[in-house]
Amino acid sequence: SIPKIKPATLNDKYSYWTIKEDLRGNIWVGACQGGVFIFDKNRNLIRHLMQQPDKSNSLTSNCVRDIMVDKNNRIYIASASGLVWYDYANDRYHAVRTDSGADVLNISHMCRTASNRILIATETGGIYEIKRGRNSAQVIELYPAEKGRFQTIFEGLDGSLYSVRNSEKICVFQLDNLGLHLRDSLPIGGLVNGFYENSTGKLLYFATSNGIVRIGKSKGSKPVYVTNQNGLPGNYIAGL
């Protein structure tokens, strides 16, 4: 059986958006309106992070949409109101902003690449990267906001990046030291909630609001949809 984490502090009215494990084996759960719950290896709640509007040392919002852990165990917490990195040892929050001091709003998803670069997709437009210093971090724009709204971003085996734009199609990007470059697009619409690439690197699978979509990486491949008509209990697939 699968044990359910259900301490008294969890609330069924919360919407749970993300679960990540840090390098110490702790589990971080991000919830909309619930902030962040941190559990140890034995599923004991060891800390509950919430926004405290009267304090500067706080989450930017209790609606946490994604959490990311880098190779140095620095924890990034993203919400609709901005991004912070959390210093667990000292219980300190550090705002991560652009070079002009602006918060990046409506963050929907973060992706850590194989080369340890952390990318951010935003619903209000644009793709960003977190540039990290020893005791600081800053957000830089990789793909301008006017070019679209991006909900999720995933990395393939060959380093290609896949991000859904405006719920209309999936853009295929290449990332290098000069920036992010649009290389191709796939005719897959709807919300994209998950990604899988088979071991041969020839087939891509996307979990979408319209079913599971399979598409080949060769030029001209057409998407194949697996929906409730093919035996799924519903068309909205939340993860893969």
DSSP 3-state of 146? helix
b/e string for 108-118 if b means 16 or more Cβ within 10 A? bbbbbeeeebb
Determine the pLDDT at residue 2: 47
Tell me if 30 sits within 8 A of 67, measured CB to CB.
yes
- Which residue type does 7 have? P
| pLDDT number for residue 1 | 40
Residue 4, pLDDT score? 56
Report residues of the chain scoring pLDDT below 50. Answer: 1-2
- What is the rounded distance in angstroms from the CA atom of residue 108 to the CA atom of residue 152? 7
Per-residue pLDDT tens digits for 172-220:
999 999 899 999 988 888 888 889 999 888 999 999 888 999 999 888 8
The predicted pLDDT at position 77 comes to 95
Count of Cβ atoms closer than 10 Å to residue 219 Cβ:
6
pTM for this model (two decimals): 0.84
